[in-house]
Amino acid sequence: MEEKYVYFFGEGKKEMKALLGGKGANLSEMTNIGIPVPPGFTISTQVCDVYYKNNKIYPEEVKKQVNENLKKLEEKMGKTFGGEDNPLLVSVRSGAAASMPGMMDTVLNLGLNDKSVQGLINKTGNKRFVMDAYRRFLNMFGDVVLGVKHSSFENALQNIKDQKGVQQDTELDGDDLEKVVEKYKLIIKKETGNDFPQDPKEQLWKSIDAVFSSWNNDRAITYRRLNEITGLIGTAVNIQAMVFGNMGDTSGTGVAFTRNPANGENKLYGEYLMNAQGEDVVAGIRNPNPISELEIQNSEIYKQFKTVMEKLENHYKDMQDVEFTIQEGTLYFLQTRTGKRTAKAAVKIAVDMVDEKLINEEEAVMRIDPKQLDQLLHKQLDEVAKNNANEIAKGLPASPGGAVGIAVFSAEDAKEKTQQGEKVILVRKETSPEDIEGMDAAQGILTSTGGMTSHAAVVARGMGKCCIAGCSDISVDEKTKQFTTKTGVLIKEGDFITLDGTTGQVFKDKIRVVDPELSEDFEKLMGWADKIRKLGVRTNADTPQDSEMARKFGAEGIGLCRTEHMFFDEERIKAVREMILSESKEGREKALQKIRPMQESDFYSLFKVMNGLPVTIRLLDPPLHEFLPREDKDIEELSKEMNIEKKRLQDLISELHEFNPMLGHRGCRLAITYPEIAVMQTQAIIGAALKAKKEGLDAKPEIMVPLIGEVKEFEYLHKIIKETADNLILESGQELNYKIGTMIEIPRACLTADEIAKDAEFFSFGTNDLTQMTYGYSRDDAGRFIKDYKEKGILEKDPFETVDQTGVGKLIKMTCDLGRKTRPNIKIGICGEQGGEPESIDFCHRTGLTYVSCSPYRIPIARLAAAQSTIRNR
């Protein structure tokens, strides 16, 4: 049997998007359910594929089927393609399975030539309308199909307007436009060496060629890469009878949504223009009317329109976005598709539709893009104000939300100015752990170096604070307290700037910031997600405040508490430094015993907030030199404060210096060389848990050893931790269950997970470090080439944002398999930054992890993404 390449509208259905493209499938579907659609047919995406594979030559069947369908269309319309009396005009439009607005080519009014123009004038008696259609067609065909520059046509049109002394196209009459037409034909002849093709069949095939070719033009390829559209074989081509909204006052055109896409309200939304073509609405030459006015202007048409809209939504069971045209009192629908919407609208529509029994809870859960939820959880810049603002630089959107404040250039200034009542934005080359308090005080953070998982980015996300990282457009001078942008804008301390952490844009001056609101609908939707999902969702949190926030957002425990964040407090850092500067074990122990009650009280607060839920506490991780000052004046201060010779202090700092601190003396390596640190931290954790227990709270400590790469490291520390913990518990006379486990963040730990699982009661993937080491990328430095890599198509995604399933994922799977071979019920989680990223969550679900852990503000995203993974992978 002959392969079917061409589908007359009605022969396809909405499920055939892959073959007919989104537009084509929906045009068939609409035809089938009785929506008034101008007839036409679709050349399938398969033809596009064959076209490219076959050196841009069509199989004979395609030609044949197009001719057959064209004939059918002529019959249906009672018109003749290229006819002199009643010519059939068609549009030729692209339409792939995924929406790629404006990326590919379109030709309208095809079928016009010198003869049919005359016929159409005779028939309509409207020379202006016909000549206008003809000159638009010549322009579009010349530009899109023949490659003549659009500006050549524009200039010619301008000349004629100048000659006549008018401003607007509408001021030209039929005769003027006839001159334009003649001029356009000359241009085409001159620029291509050939006459404009009068044969409509030639026009048609050249246009089809042009649409298929546009599938692989640069901007389409770029668009697909940027929007991560993969796996498509090509575009379809839709050939449809033209209808005209510009045939007088009973004609018109518009776009509309079945519900309000901004707030989700269940009310028709859109705009229209009478006596106009689609492009007039888009071009904004005349102001369109809100759709509600159509009811007043033409209640009959409005009633029809409303009925169709209801029918469409009920049929598609989702909010629809349509294009329509009224030709001399007859309503036609040219397109329908699922409408884009804000997060707020998405939530409301999904929940409303469940109430309306249009969809069920699972479908509602699938309707929301988890990443979109960020909009609901953070302060946002006012969109209107933002559109008029002065963008001065763009960096990485490291932590979403909007923030406005005066620029400050040090953590101390951030604290000080905030105490004085100012709102500040902290601007740094890069932040370090000693900046924590300043970051906490600031409204937002802007750094010129570092990537999506740099210190600034990670900490800001944890705090739910707006952050733009790696903004290489700016050059920061922390000494003179100012930064300059690439375009030469100078921002000094005290100048107002505004950040959009969702897009990475930096603005000069203030922009209004809008508060977030969590609706009842939102809570309802999250409840449904929780019923469905299999993955647990925990939080990365270091403070009672963060933990409380996380619990409010639905966290089921703490998956990662970084104990070192507690070390930077002004009160404590002194004791921490004393410990580091001690040259004997005794000295260190003495200092550690000063830190212990502080840590114990921190942990107690966490157990209190997380009552009944597990709290995973990671032992000290960063290299010790991070706790020592860097600047000369700070060293001087510390030397006085601690009564240590400055030279000695400098020597010590330089001794602790590392060439590659990420691969240096940190993590469990610290606890192995200084076991007394692990002992103190265990005492603090277990001590706090016992205290909480005594007060009737249900504390569930899980002690996590970082950076294990060799099983003997874990055995060594496991023994120390267990002995310390068991002794304390025994002394207390209470009962307490606790767990000891490891981070899995060193490739070698993955390769030897079977050995490590002998003693480890849980694993938690530290995917930041694991990604760093598996790729050999430092997350602090990789920014400078990852950007280039993405542009050159070497990396599709930043592996620090989304788990690299090919490489890192292989290690993760290996770890799960090896770990469960030794300990079948081992708990396995992920606490790297990717734990809150939907695609990575899907991977975690498929790999059978127990839970994901992410920063508090990502918890709702994770809950929703986990539910979607469950449904998707059933």
Minimum CB distance to a second copy, residue 784 (Å): 6
Nearest-approach distance from CB 856 to a second copy, in angstroms: 27
> In angstroms, rounded to a whole number, what is the distance separating the alpha carbons of residues 352 and 534?
25
Q: Is 455 an annotated catalytic residue?
A: yes
Does residue number 201 form part of the binding site for a second copy (CB under 8 A)?
no
What DSSP designation does 262 have?
T
Q: Which among 750, 831, 844, 854 is annotated as catalytic?
A: 831
Separation between Cα atoms, residue 67 and residue 71, nearest integer Å: 6
Q: Is 581 in the site for a second copy (CB under 8 A)?
A: no
Strands (E), 628-699: none
* Nearest residue to 502 via CA among 589, 401, 601, 404: 401
What does the alpha-carbon distance between residue 681 and residue 672 come to, in Å, rounded to a whole number?
13
Enumerate residues 6+ apart whose C-beta is below 8 A from 31.
9, 10, 37, 39
Calculate ∠ Cα 65-67-72, nearest 5°. 95
Our CB check for a second copy shows the closer of 518 and 656 to be 656
Q: Give the nearer residue to a second copy in terms of CB position, either 556 or 839.
A: 839
CA 25 – CA 11 distance, rounded (Å): 9
Whole-number minimum distance, CB 769 to a second copy, in Å? 7
Out of 321, 521, 542, 745, point to the residue binding a second copy (CB under 8 A). 745
Residue 371 contacts residue 861 (beta carbons within 8 Å): yes
Interatomic CA distance for residues 846 and 816, integer angstroms: 12
Tell me how far, at minimum, the Cβ of 56 lies from a second copy, in Å: 24
User: Can residue 652 be called a binding residue for a second copy (CB under 8 A)?
Assistant: no
- Per CB under 8 A, 362 contacts a second copy: no
Query: Considering beta carbons, is residue 87 or 623 the nearer one to a second copy?
Result: 623
Question: Please, which residues have CB within 8 angstroms of residue 63's CB and are 6 or more apart in sequence?
Answer: none
Q: Which of the stretches 243-251, 544-552, 601-609, 667-675 binds a second copy when contact is defined by CB under 8 A?
A: 667-675
CA-CA distance, 350 to 358, in Å (whole number)?
9
Which is nearer to a second copy, 258 or 742 (by Cβ)? 742
773 counts as binding a second copy under rule CB under 8 A: yes
- Per CB under 8 A, does 777 bind a second copy? yes
Site string for a second copy, 786-825 (x = CB under 8 A): --xx--xxxx--------x-xxx-xx--------------
Q: Which stretch binds a second copy (CB under 8 A): 280-288, 295-303, 318-326, 664-672?
A: 664-672
Residue with tokens 């339409």: 95
Catalytic residue flag (residue 831): yes
Q: Measured at the alpha carbon of residue 745, what is the angle toward residues 741 and 751, in degrees to the nearest 5?
A: 90
Burial zone of 311 (CB within 10 Å; 0-12 exposed, 13-18 middle, 19+ buried): middle
If one counts every other C-beta atom within 10 angstroms of the C-beta of residue 586, the result is: 10
Count helices and strands in the chain by DSSP H and E runs: 35, 33
- Residue 647 interacts with a second copy (CB under 8 A)? no
Task: State which residue, 202 or 785, has the beta carbon closest to a second copy.
Answer: 785
If binding is defined by CB under 8 A, does position 487 make contact with a second copy? Answer: no
Residue (417 or 588) nearer to a second copy, CB:
588
Q: Does the protein bind a second copy through residue 781 (CB under 8 A)?
A: yes
> How many residues contact a second copy, by CB under 8 A?
50
**256 closest CA partner among 269, 275, 273, 266:** 269
By CB under 8 A, tell whether 433 contacts a second copy: no
- What is the DSSP secondary-structure string of 675-702? HHHHHHHHHHHHHHHHHHHHTT---EEE
CB of 430 to a second copy, least distance (A): 8
Instruction: Tell me the window of 46-54, 493-501, 744-752, 839-847 that interacts with a second copy (CB under 8 A).
Output: 744-752
Task: Count CB neighbours of 267 within 10 A.
Answer: 12
Is 660 one of the binding residues for a second copy (CB under 8 A)? Answer: yes
Q: Is the dihedral of CA 682, 684, 687, 689 positive or negative?
A: negative
Instruction: Annotate 161-185 with b (16+ C-beta within 10 A) or e (fewer).
Output: beeeeeeebeebeeebbbbbbebbb
Quick one: which segment of 122-130, 184-192, 642-650, 780-788 binds a second copy (CB under 8 A)? Answer: 780-788
| Cα diameter, the chain | 106
> Minimum CB separation from a second copy for residue 840, in Å?
17
Binder among 712, 758, 821, 872 for a second copy (CB under 8 A): 712
Judged by beta carbon, residue 223 or residue 789, the one nearer a second copy is 789
Selected from 748, 790, 820, 846, the binder of a second copy by CB under 8 A is 748
Q: What values do phi and psi take at 828, rounded to 5?
A: -125, 120
| Rounded distance between C-alpha atoms, residue 71 and residue 94, angstroms | 21
Q: How far is the CB of 758 from a second copy (least distance, A)?
A: 14
Alpha-carbon torsion angle 775, 778, 779, 780, nearest 10: -160
Catalytic-labelled residue, pool 378, 455, 718, 845: 455
In the complex with a second copy, the residue whose CB is nearer, 388 or 806, is 806
Minimum Å distance from CB 662 to a second copy?
5
Binding of residue 713 to a second copy (CB under 8 A) = yes
Spatial strand order in the sheet of 482-485: 474-477, 482-485, 490-492
Query: Which range of residues in 75-83, 282-290, 326-334, 768-776 is near a second copy by CB under 8 A?
Result: 768-776
Residues of the shown chain interacting with a second copy in the complex, contacts defined by CB under 8 A: 475, 651, 658-665, 669, 672-673, 707, 709-710, 712-713, 716, 745-748, 751-752, 769, 772-778, 780-782, 784-785, 788-789, 792-795, 804, 806-808, 810-811
Please give the positions annotated as active site.
Answer: 455, 831
